[in-house]
Amino acid sequence: MINYTEKIPNNVDLGRDRVLQRALEHWQPAFLGWWYDMGPNESRNYDVYLRTAISVEPDGWAQFDYVKMPEYRWGIFLQPRDEQRRMNFGTHKGQPAWQDVPGEYRSTLLRVIVTQGDTEPASVEQQKMLGLSCPSLYDLRNIFQVNVEEGRHLWAMVYLLHRYFGRDGREEAEALLARRSGDTDNPRILGAFNEPTPDWLAFYMFTFFTDRDGKFQLCALAESGFDPLSRTCRFMLTEEAHHMFVGETGVSRIIQRTCELMKENKVEDPSDVRALGVIDLQTIQKYLNFHYSVTLDLYGSDVSSNAANYFTSGLKGRFRETKLDDDHVLTEAQYPVSEVVGGKVVTKDVPALTALNERLRNDYIDEIADGVSRWQRVIDQAGIPFRLTLPHKGFHRQIGNFAGHFISPDGEVLTEEAWKKHEFEWLPSPKDYAFVQSLMSGRVAEPGKFANWIAPPLRGINNQPLNFEYVRFN
């Protein structure tokens, strides 16, 4: 169970480490200051029907109640330790998992943890204003749940920094509260976390695409030979599942509503669809193209010696490493990567160790494709002849082998001029964003009511009815 009697709830026996406890109690007010500044706008007095973890067991999520968000029990929860756990890959394979930071990998590990930690507050900052235009109390509660849990993910990484990295860790923990998403002078570390999330379609796309990148990164770090990082990530993954649920069902409900009105009114032309106050499928496709492509960049370069080092040294594994049937060392193995040669996309084999970013990206793409086909089913069931597609992997990329090339969603290599001519057929234009935002000018705050552009969900939270008062504004 988690000890809630302490100022910082935890299951790591914080009370026995006075120095660490004091360091974290010092960071806590700074975190709350950041939350008041950068957390959901105007929300501090709302009572929100949130779930709070009461233990780290699978059924530990049973606690639902009204909570004011600044009083959410942010804390430090690690999956229980497995005393037998060993390194499962890389040159140290077979050795007992590390309980302390190995000196030779200290700076690499610090960078891995800081980079992961930086994404957590970033997404809260990106979503700060969305509460003001929520489509229902149900959706408002969901975004708040995501936000408090991203706050807790920040806590999870900050615990590791304070506990294992001394003064360097404390400085990095402060810097995590100082950077700001989209800031020109002091931005967040990764590109996708500096993009705005200007509306609810973007929010659902973000939680479907970018939170899922979070899942895959956490899965790779859950394999880490540094056991405290592994145990931290394992618990974070239980929270991530809900974020992706919010994204997938959110987009699905938007598609469903659009299809319903298209059928009812027998219209197909995007401008006729928009006139009904819903988002046309073409615009949904453009948002999909945008969020997919910027998220693919988060996996890094196709060929990367850093990725090889992370793996070889045992810091970051592959997706489901222990379920894979090979030597887990990969010194002999090859893996295919794509690149642009002479105006064509070609594939070549490279040492598998250097292609681990690309491999994780491909695992991610498989899962994304499944989700997109579930969205497609909603369109098919309505009998509407429209296909949602994933664009080519090289489309609109800034990092890796496709950076600097101009690839169409079909995978054709174009000139910059030709690509630019079609840009806003493929990506949302300022006008598209303006249209979507015009639908979301105010919030729908009456219990049981939903904005016109989105269908209600199948069921409420924790078996509550759809007209439950998920948020009380006071």
The contact set with Fe ion (CB under 5 A) reads 120, 150, 153, 211, 214, 240, 243
| Closest approach of Fe ion to the CB of residue 156, in Å | 9
Alpha-carbon distance of 229 to 98, in angstroms, equals 10
| Closest approach of Fe ion to the CB of residue 123, in Å | 7
| Closest approach of Fe ion to the CB of residue 151, in Å | 9
Which C-beta is closer to Fe ion: that of 24 or that of 246? Answer: 246
Residue written as token pair 């850093």 = 306
DSSP secondary structure string, 439-468? HTSS---STT---TTSPPPSS-GGG--TTS
400 by Cβ neighbours in 10 Å (0-12 / 13-18 / 19+) ranks as: buried
- What type of residue is 260? E
| Closest approach of Fe ion to the CB of residue 99, in Å | 24
Which C-beta is closer to Fe ion: that of 153 or that of 291? Answer: 153
Bridge partners for 98 per DSSP: 226
Alpha-carbon distance of 152 to 13, in angstroms, equals 18
Alpha-carbon distance of 153 to 157, in angstroms, equals 6
- Non-local (6+) Cβ contacts of 381 within 8 A are none
| Closest approach of Fe ion to the CB of residue 108, in Å | 21
Which C-beta is closer to Fe ion: that of 240 or that of 297? Answer: 240
Which C-beta is closer to Fe ion: that of 193 or that of 292? Answer: 193
21 alpha carbon, distance to own chain's centre: 29
Which C-beta is closer to Fe ion: that of 181 or that of 354? Answer: 181
Strands 471-472 and 413-414, sheet pairing = unpaired
Which C-beta is closer to Fe ion: that of 48 or that of 337? Answer: 48
| Closest approach of Fe ion to the CB of residue 125, in Å | 13
Q: Whose CA is closest to 89, among 233, 224, 228?
A: 224
| DSSP 8-state secondary structure symbol assigned to residue 83 | T
Alpha-carbon distance of 466 to 333, in angstroms, equals 52
- What type of residue is 354? T
Which C-beta is closer to Fe ion: that of 127 or that of 258? Answer: 127
| Closest approach of Fe ion to the CB of residue 402, in Å | 26
